[in-house]
A and B are shown apart, each in its own frame.
Chain A
Amino acid sequence: MKTRILYGVIIGLFAVLQGCSSSAKNEASTAAAPAGGAPTDEIEKYRAMIADGNPADLYEAAGEDIWKKPMGPKNVSLQKCDLGMGPGVVKGAYTQLPKYFKDTNQVQDLESRLVTCMTKLQGYDANEIIKAGFSKGKRKDLEAVVAYVVAESKGMPINVVAKHPKEKQAYQMGKESFFYQGGPMDFSCASCHASNGKRIRLQDLPNLTEQKGAALGWGYWPAYRVSSGTFWTMQRRLNDCYRQQRFPEPIYISEDTIAVSMYMAVNAKGGTMNAPGLKR
């Protein structure tokens, strides 16, 4: 009981101090910057501090090993996997995904493409990966490979275009999904991500309908998520968006989640791929 009161006092004190420091800062910076930018400045400093030790590195290293190691019923490696720039080309491949693939006659994101490779080259059962759940079974290996492939595009410009009719269709479908409002909370992706200057707690919410915002969103995912201590792929991130909207859980690598990815990636064209990122 005593400790609880003590905690209360400490939290209270902290809140007071916070109030003081932020108002003082607002006074100092009103001339230079518009009010509202200040609250997230401190967390930006924190992000810069931790950026150097991104545990996504560990997933990259594991993913590289998995990419090169012969595995599965056919006992072959993923090194012949075509991610859109020819068999085995990893460097820069992620900057162009999602895209249309002729052999599967589908628009595929990195994860669905890796499932294709694991099925066709290595002989795994696609359903097993789709039903596995995040960080479980064969999906865990796939996630590590995602970290590796994405890291090989770090610092390069995002170059996703909707040229093929199927790509245009996916973009349109993604856009509709993005603005689709519903569920018990009656909101859509657009409720949070279609206007500038919004934030939730100390997280700035990028406006994903504009190039600048989309590049901030698309360009920093997949990422290591500190709060869950795991590496999150884009599919997992989107899964969580649907959960936050209280929508039914999307099926892994479903047409719809790929379409939403397509919508964001095309909007982000010209931005820099900074993933794997490090998120709260």
Chain B
Amino acid sequence: MADPMRVRAAENGGTVDVKILMKHDMESGQRKDASGKTIPAWFISTINVKANGKDVFNGQFGPAVSKDPFLNFKYKGAKGDKIVVTWNDSKGDKRTDEATAS
């Protein structure tokens, strides 16, 4: 099972500032291990953020995104919005975490 994310969301003047920190190795497929063998690519491929059940962010990540990615975006929303973040990775693993806009 994947490690939890840290999701923070704060409302200010009608916009909600969402900050997501994901725990993922994001292997690019370019690196080699100690014995010289290529480490296969393994990265978050899609990310979806919903606020009160409605999509506010959809993204496709590739192997160029760093390890432990940090994502920050804003959307028009209100205090108390229930934010659900889900990512899927290239091995079919997934993780969902929630937060409430403060």
Contact = CB atoms under 8 A, between A and B. Distances in A.
**Interface majority SS (helix, strand, loop, mixed), chain B:** loop
B72 interface: yes
Contacts of A55: 21, 23, 67-68, 70
Given A58-B21, A58-B23, A229-B67, A53 B3 contact: no
Contacts of A50: 70
A20 interface: no
Q: In which size bucket is the chain B interface?
A: 10 to 19
Q: In which size bucket is the chain A interface?
A: under 10
B94 interface: no
Choose among B25, B66, B67, B68 the residue with the greatest number of A CB atoms under 10 Å from its CB.
Answer: B68
Interface in A140-195: none
Interface string A60-81: 0110000000000000000000
A27 interface: no
B5 to A, nearest CB: 8
A61 B67 contact: no
A52 B4 CA distance: 18
A53 B67 contact: no
A247 to B, nearest CB: 23
A52 B3 contact: no
B6 A57 contact: yes
Interface in B1-57: 3-6, 19, 21, 23, 25
A240 B5 CA distance: 29
A62 B3 contact: yes
A244 B25 CA distance: 27
Nearest to B70: A53
Contacts of A52: 19, 70, 72
A134 to B, nearest CB: 15
B6 A61 contact: yes
Nearest to A58: B23
Contacts of B68: 55, 58, 229
Contact of B72 (A53, A61, A229): A53
A159 B3 CA distance: 34
A58 B67 contact: no
A61 B67 CA distance: 17
Contacts of B72: 52-53
Given A229-B67, A229-B68, A57 B3 contact: no
Nearest to B4: A61
Contacts of B70: 50, 52-53, 55
B78 to A, nearest CB: 23
A229 B66 CA distance: 9
A62 B5 CA distance: 10
B94 to A, nearest CB: 17
Contacts of B66: 229
Interface string A197-236: 0000000000000000000000000000000010000000
Closest 7 CB pairs of A and B: A53-B70, A55-B68, A229-B67, A58-B23, A57-B6, A53-B21, A57-B21
7 contacts: A52-B19, A52-B72, A57-B6, A58-B4, A58-B6, A58-B21, A61-B4
Given A53-B21, A62-B3, 15 more contacts: A50-B70, A52-B70, A52-B72, A53-B70, A55-B21, A55-B70, A58-B5, A58-B21, A58-B68, A61-B4, A61-B6, A229-B25, A229-B66, A229-B67, A229-B68
